[in-house]
Each structure stands twice: as structure tokens, then as C-alpha cells.
Amino acid sequence: MTAANQKATLSFSDGSPSVDFPILKGTVGPDVIDIRKLYGSTGKFTFDPGFLSTASCQSSITYIDGDKGELLYRGYPIEQLATKCDFLETCYLLLNGELPNAPQKSDFVARVTQHTMVNEQMHFFLRGFRRDAHPMAVLTGLVGALSAFYPDSMNLNDPHQREISAIRLIAKLPTLVAMAYKYSIGQPFIYPNNDLSYTANFTRMMFATPCEDYKVNDVLVRALDRIFILHADHEQNASTSTVRLCASSGTNPFAAIAAGVACLWGPAHGGANEAALNMLYDIQAQGGVEKIGEFITKVKDKNSSVRLMGFGHRVYKNYDPRAKLMRETCHEVLVALGLENDPLFKLAMALEKIALEDDYFVQRKLYPNVDFYSGIVQKAVGIPVSLFTAIFALARTVGWIAQLNEMITDPEYKIGRPRQLFTGAATRDVPDISAR
């Protein structure tokens, strides 16, 4: 961050003295007006619910150009990372700022592999849930519960403890997601097999049973590894901002990540992939492609509260680059599985085409986002719809950790404590109950 040689001057129509604020420049992207002294110098707050015009921090991890539809992790375009790297290389990049060389990669993979098991006591937590509990309810509980098992990695201010808790979280999320799935279908948990790659290990924990040897499905592993890369980080989205705000109190890393899991669950955020697939199922059940027009009419009707799930984005006002990669992955997987005529994929492409030609979406710059196609590819490889957001959380855990570490190591960071515009009752006396 550098101070631009410009300033912003705030003047008041009531004759109050005007105030100058420095303008700060990043490497790329919009400049910011540094208003940290605003309240002290004017007695006024800014007002920006939803943070549409607010930069909450400085960061060097992920950059999104919403107008161009570009996404960079530590400067590398997502299109290159998704095709030239695997997920653990991407984790190393997000955490350390550079891609690993071969020895660094094998060390990192070895460290993660050594932490894939969870404490046996964790198994008992699942027994408290109904078998049909939503996996995100289970995962929110399990990730928070990790705080009870690692007293040696609870102190956010100790870089060693931050490092080991990062490894533990990255390593154990696949195990916990697979446990939540096995519990929901009444099958026994499958322990990690450290001979397998990170993502192959996850597929085995998900789909193997003790009754027979499991053959790793390379199409499934490649598709999931790509999905993990595409979901790994995304600057200051709602769940990342939740993790930063939660960790700013100095709480432990497991609790902060559990807060991110809880926020991601929402259908406007990480829950959109589940909602988008259910939306496609509904349209299909009502008649498929011929019913798209009727559905779009409902979406455009303000009174219907129906949204085209998997479309629109606070930052992307162009095609989400992850959606393009997800659509390609979807097509590759469906062809590999002999499902190229999958009716749901055809319906999704028809819906996308119609929406992108409709003025309502064009005017509002609503394009498919990462969630529009991710459900179709996950369904094709056998992931149950209810697990989609848990898989998003598995992938985003590394981004949340990288962002949390960046905040904690920023010498200027403080506990997050926004103010408000108070519109409630002014001071008044409590009347006796007989007078109420």
C-alpha cells in the first residue's frame, strides 16, 4: 500500500471546516480513501451496510477484477493454477505467497498427510446428531469442537501455533466432511490412507467401505481437486470477513474457521451451489427447458423473491472465471462418465443462454458464478447435494487461514468493532407496570 500524492477533501454545507483524507494506492484495483481519522476529526461515521464501498483491510492474497472477470491467487491467474497445479500446491501458495518448488511441495504434502486423522473422541460428537442432520450443521459443530483437542495450537499470536493449526485444519477437513457423509448414510467411518494423495484420500474416505478394496477413480479425483482449487479463496467475501472479524478478538483458529463454516452455509453465499442444483431439479420436474421462460418470469417478478441461484455476484459484473472453468470441468467429467447428454447439464446451459440474452440480467450484469455449474459436476461424480457446501468449506479453509494469518501479522490490526446509525428511542424513563 502506498500513499498516492492525492487527497480527498470532505466539505460540509453547514460551514463546518473541510477535512482532507489521504488516498492510498494498491498494486492494482481501486484506490482507497483512508478515513481512519474521520470520526476523530468530524464526529461523524461513514454509513455503508453490506460494505459495498468499503475496503475492510489491505491484502496481498487474492485479487478479483469484477469488470474483467479475472481472479488471481498471489498474482497467478486462476485459469493457470486450475490447470497447472494441484490443490496442495495452491494451499502452499495461498499460505506462503509463492508456489512451492519440488522439495517444498513434498515437505508440505508430508506434513499435511501426517495430520489427516482426528481424535477418536470426535466420533462421539456425530452420535448426538440425527442421521438426517444437514452436513453443514455437523461440520460447524465438528470444526468448532477441534478447539477442544489441540491446546498446543490455540494461540493465534504464536506463529508456530498458527502454522500447526493451519496444517491440522487443512488435513482434517476432508476427514470431517467424509465422516459427516458416512454418518448420514449409516456407514462406518473410513480412516485416512496416507499412501493416497490428499484428494484421492478424501474420495476413499467418502466412498470406500470396509467390505471391499476401493479403487480410486481418477476422473473423480481430478474433478474434485479442480473444484477445491477454484473455491480456495476469494478476497473479502462474507465468510472470510466473518473469519477475520471473529479472529480479531484473539479467539483460537478452530473457532474462527468454524464461524466461517457457519457463514458459508447461507444460500446467498456458499449454500448457492446446493440451491442452484435444487433449482434445476425443480425446473426439470415442472417440464424442463420449456418451463425456463416461466421460471425467468418469476425471477423478474419482485414479489416472487425467486432468484436465479448460481447467478449474480457482488464483485463480478462479468462472467465469473471460476464458472467458465467449472463448466469446462463439468463437460469433461460428463463425457468421461458417458453422461454428455445429462439432462441437467443441458438444462443449465439452456437456462444460462436464455438468461444472458434477457435484458433483466444484462442490465444488472448478472452472470453465472462459481456455484452455477459446480453442483452438476459434483452430482455427476456421486457427491450428494447436501454435501456441496461442506465441500466448498473444505476448499475455502485454506483461504480463511491465509486471510486470518495476514490479519494477525498486520501490525496495525485491531479488534473489529463497527459503529452504527442509531434510529431507536431516545432516553426515556421506565413507567410503572400499572402505567404500561
Q: How far is the CB of 110 from ligand SDX (least distance, A)?
A: 29
Cα 399 to Cα 386: distance, rounded to the nearest angstrom: 22
Q: In this complex, which beta carbon is closest to ligand SDX, that of residue 144 or of residue 312?
A: 312
| Span near ligand SDX by CB under 6 A; candidates 160-168, 201-209, 369-377, 378-386 | 369-377
Q: How far is the CB of 421 from ligand SDX (least distance, A)?
A: 19
Q: How far is the CB of 270 from ligand SDX (least distance, A)?
A: 6
Q: How far is the CB of 130 from ligand SDX (least distance, A)?
A: 27
Q: In this complex, which beta carbon is closest to ligand SDX, that of residue 208 or of residue 272?
A: 272
Per-residue binder mask for ligand SDX (CB under 6 A), 275-314, x = binder: ------------------------x-------xxxxxxxx
Q: In this complex, which beta carbon is closest to ligand SDX, that of residue 201 or of residue 242?
A: 242
| Span near ligand SDX by CB under 6 A; candidates 24-32, 101-109, 156-164, 266-274 | 266-274
Among 89, 274, 342, 371, binds ligand SDX (CB under 6 A): 371
Among 237, 241, 248, 378, binds ligand SDX (CB under 6 A): 237
Q: In this complex, which beta carbon is closest to ligand SDX, that of residue 109 or of residue 279?
A: 279
Q: In this complex, which beta carbon is closest to ligand SDX, that of residue 381 or of residue 393?
A: 393
Q: Which amino acid is at 181?
A: Y
Among positions 329-368, residues that touch ligand SDX (CB under 6 A) are: 364, 366
Residue 317 is a binding residue for ligand SDX (CB under 6 A): no
Q: Which amino acid is at 255?
A: A
Q: How far is the CB of 33 from ligand SDX (least distance, A)?
A: 21
What HEC string does the chain produce? CEEEEEEEEECCCCCCCCEEEEEEECCCCCCEECCCCHHHHHCCCCCCCCCCCCCCCCCCCEEEECCCCEEEECCEEHHHHHHHCCHHHHHHHHHHCCCCCHHHHHHHHHHHHCCCCCCCCHHHHHHCCCCCCCHHHHHHHHHHHHHHCCHHHCCCCCHHHHHHHHHHHHHHHHHHHHHHHHHHCCCCCCCCCCCCCHHHHHHHHHHCECCECCCCCHHHHHHHHHHHHHCCCCCCCHHHHHHHHHHCCCCCHHHHHHHHHHHHCCCCCCCHHHHHHHHHHHHHHCCHHHHHHHHHHHHHCCCCCCCCCCECCCCCCCCCHHHHHHHHHHHHHHHHCCCCCCHHHHHHHHHHHHHHHCHHHHHCCCCECHHHHHHHHHHHCCCCHHHHHHHHHHHHHHHHHHHHHHHHCCCCCCCCCCCCCCCCCCCCCCCCHHHC
Q: In this complex, which beta carbon is closest to ligand SDX, that of residue 296 or of residue 334?
A: 296
Among 173, 272, 292, 296, binds ligand SDX (CB under 6 A): 272
Q: How far is the CB of 313 from ligand SDX (least distance, A)?
A: 5
Positions marked catalytic: 313, 371
Among 134, 204, 226, 234, binds ligand SDX (CB under 6 A): 234
Cα 156 to Cα 165: distance, rounded to the nearest angstrom: 9
Among 203, 242, 248, 369, binds ligand SDX (CB under 6 A): 369
Among 171, 205, 370, 395, binds ligand SDX (CB under 6 A): 370
Q: In this complex, which beta carbon is closest to ligand SDX, that of residue 345 or of residue 367?
A: 367
Angle value at C-alpha 385, between 380 and 388, nearest 5 degrees: 95
Among positions 119-178, residues that touch ligand SDX (CB under 6 A) are: none
- Residue ranges that bind ligand SDX, judged by CB under 6 A: 234, 237, 268-270, 272, 299, 307-315, 364, 366, 369-371
